[in-house]
Structure 1
Amino acid sequence: MAVVPLVAAHSEDFVQILVQVESDNTMSEVAEVVAYHTVGTRVEPQHAPLKVIFNGEVQRDNMTVTDVGMKPMDFVEVSYHG
């Protein structure tokens, strides 16, 4: 387990942020970390699941940072789906 800093943004936000996640965090957990900094401040809460988009693809919730190959300072986007 290692700390992985990621550049992140919510699809409905205009600000990119730096977040720290663990290499064994799931995509659901990564989405929650990003949402903590965006939803309720600059992004309206919605009744829809949050998904992580990495390298142009929506990632499965149970995949980990290591599983999808995220490396320090990679860019991820979080978006509501559904």
Structure 2
Amino acid sequence: MALIPLASHFDGDFVLKLLPVDSENTMDEVAAAASENVLGIHVEAQPDRVLRVRKQDAAEPFPRDMTVANSGLEPTECIEVFYG
């Protein structure tokens, strides 16, 4: 277990945010953490849709149950969080 800072861009938001996550967090947990300071503030919440995470500019999102440790993400690398 290790703390890893990621740069996070939430689709529809206007700014990157530093997002501290644990190496054992799943991508669902990363998406939930990223949404805490965005949904209902800068982006309208859509509770009937699933949040997904991908590496910046990647075509496909990470599997929802993949951990940060298994994703290959490096500290301060940028992720995109979006409704899938």
Provide TM-score, normalisation by structure 1: 0.94
Residue 18 (structure 1) aligns with:
18
Aligned ranges 1:3-82 → 2 under 5 Å: 3-46=3-46, 47-55=48-56, 56=58, 57-81=60-84
RMSD: 0.8
Deviations 1:15-68 (A, max 9, x none): 110010000000000000100111110000012000001150301110000111
Return the structure number with greater helix share: 1
Aligned-residue identity in percent: 38
Matched residues in 1 for 2:55 and 2:19: separation?
Answer: 15
Where does structure 1 lack aligned partners over 5 or more consecutive residues?
none
SS of residue in 2 equivalent to 1:58: coil
Provide TM-score, normalisation by structure 2: 0.92
